Chain A
């Protein structure tokens, strides 16, 4: 135990400053409604769904939990069920074998159910494209709010995409969360 404490004290706090949100990555067809985000504030529960990635994107999403990015310190955490999630973080082209699982996950997520597509494959279909086995990009299967490009995008870009998704939090506290239906479907 002594060694553990010594190491922790020796390291101190290594977390780095928060990056700017990447608002230019809003998907064209979907723009995020400010009132939905008012409900969320900046606390955010994410359900990660891999629908066919090479697992490179997963490695970089994992990295967000390391002490340098310290994503939980920003009020953002990964949760174990879509029913607990505000946002789906989707990687990979959508393989046809994962198409129904992704739809069901989306249906199980309560509104406002933001969707962030992470990585080249999720944004465009990438190298794998569309085929007998692949539906291509995530937007071909469910609506997407923000796309984060890169193969894979570095953690800082994934964080900027997430912050873009939760950005427009109003400064004043005059929005009554009860006027919006959180909804369960």
Chain B
């Protein structure tokens, strides 16, 4: 069961932590992948992934994507009432879908660079939300 966040100090704090963690991770992904395939293609792939995952996790639709990068600020407002685990699942789904797109395009070339950065962050997010 997804724990409620509203009125729960610990929950709010966890949500912010999860959001910060994914905000940093998206910046890292952007830096690594844009160096490989360029900003315009990456922005296009992000938009594609958000459109796909946004159906299930509507807060992802508030992510702003441009050739300058991906910006999470709009998401904070939407996540105020969401459980940290839900935020984690949404971002995890988004990153997994991006990873699937990278794999379709370049097999392991992009994911090989990303995996060492992404995997520990997923683990970290899981650690945060499992703290009671």
Query: Do A and B originate from a single complex?
Result: no
User: Which residues of A pack against B, CB within 8 Å?
Assistant: none
User: Which residues of B pack against A, CB within 8 Å?
Assistant: none
